[in-house]
Amino acid sequence: MLKLIGAVSVAFLTIFAGAAAARPFTDAGGRTVEVPDKVSRVLTAGPPASVMIYVLAPEKLTGWVREPTAQEKEFLLPAVRDLPTFGRLTGQGGTANMEAVLAARPDIIIDVGTVNDTYVSLADKVQAQTGIPYVLIDGAFAKTPESLRKVGELLGVSARAGELAAYAETTLKTLDDGIAGVPAGGRPKVYYGRGPEGLETGLSGSINLEILEAAGATNVAAAAGKGGLTNVSLEQVLGWNPQVILAASPKFAQTVRSDPLWANVAAVKAGQVYPAPALPFGWFDSPPGVNRLIGVRWLEALLYPKVFDVDLKADVHRFFKLYYQVDPTDAQLDTLLKGATPRS
């Protein structure tokens, strides 16, 4: 990705000369970044940042990291559905076309997610080579309210951010209060499978399993160690014998339900195999952003039906109106939840 930056014509870099008055902003990496007093155009470095800017100030979003699918667009505001796609600056194999990025004339670049030396270094390099202020925001799930407020202040939408942060705080407190009274024996053992074969999962501490751990459930793959994503074997999963299986891919969920190799797993015997809802953004994992807040309500209904009083359709409707600013119909709500809830 950085070699693309080096190839950018100096002419592009002069676009940002003579920018408006700036103010200092301390980001999650401890960097003091001079940002414009008024931010009108935001480029997002990765998918979690795209969701953050969309829910806070969709009118400031310059484009998408990945073009939304037709199904995803159905649950997004019409004004943003067909914005340009720029690719990603972060992650493995950055795909951003830097000439297109600079031509979009963003006031600022925002990245939401893991903050470590690697991301700090990347932010410094991109900022130095483009002249665009680059801000890092902590994407840890527990810090969602704080991050919403921080970005809201940066973008000049503090009132909107406060409303969303209050919802996030209530959601997290309700979850914590509810599971506090659940004994260890009442917390289910869960396997989360990614991909069509379902044999990629997250180890203990993986950001991809963050809300499962927040929900107090046992990630069976934690037995394989601590870290990020990893590939596992079918034999390992069978040995872990999870009580609940969550599938990133509907194809994997269908395979688990019908393949004789899975038949003796506790989750299959109990009918506890569910695809994770994923529209317009993943509810459980991808991307690991503020979109996961509605996944908390889904997990409460799925894992602790006797503990939490969840009207899932009503909760989803409320979240979509508040965060995504769309008003889903009953039919659309049924589509969102298809196969992802216990059969009554």
Report whether pLDDT(43) > 90: yes
* Amino acid making up residue 284: F
Position 93 confidence tier, pLDDT thresholds 50, 70, 90: low
Contact call for residues 129 and 7 (beta carbons, < 8 A): no
Torsion of CA 152, 153, 156, 161, to 10 degrees: 30
Strands (E) located in 259-341: 273-275
Peptide bond preceding 280 in cis form (omega within 30 of 0): yes
Domains in the chain (CATH in brackets) are: 2-168 (3.40.50.1980), 183-337 (3.40.50.1980)
Q: The tokens of 93 are what?
A: 């194999």
Helix (H, G, I), strand (E, B) or coil at 8: coil
pLDDT of residue 14: 41
Give the pLDDT of residue 223.
92
* Predicted confidence (pLDDT) per residue in 159-176, tens digit: 999 999 999 999 999 999
Predicted confidence (pLDDT) per residue in 170-213, tens digit = 999 999 999 999 998 899 999 999 999 999 999 999 999 999 99
Which helix (H) or strand (E) element contains residue 239? Answer: helix 234-240
pLDDT at 5: 44
Predicted confidence (pLDDT) at residue 214 exceeds the cutoff of 80: yes
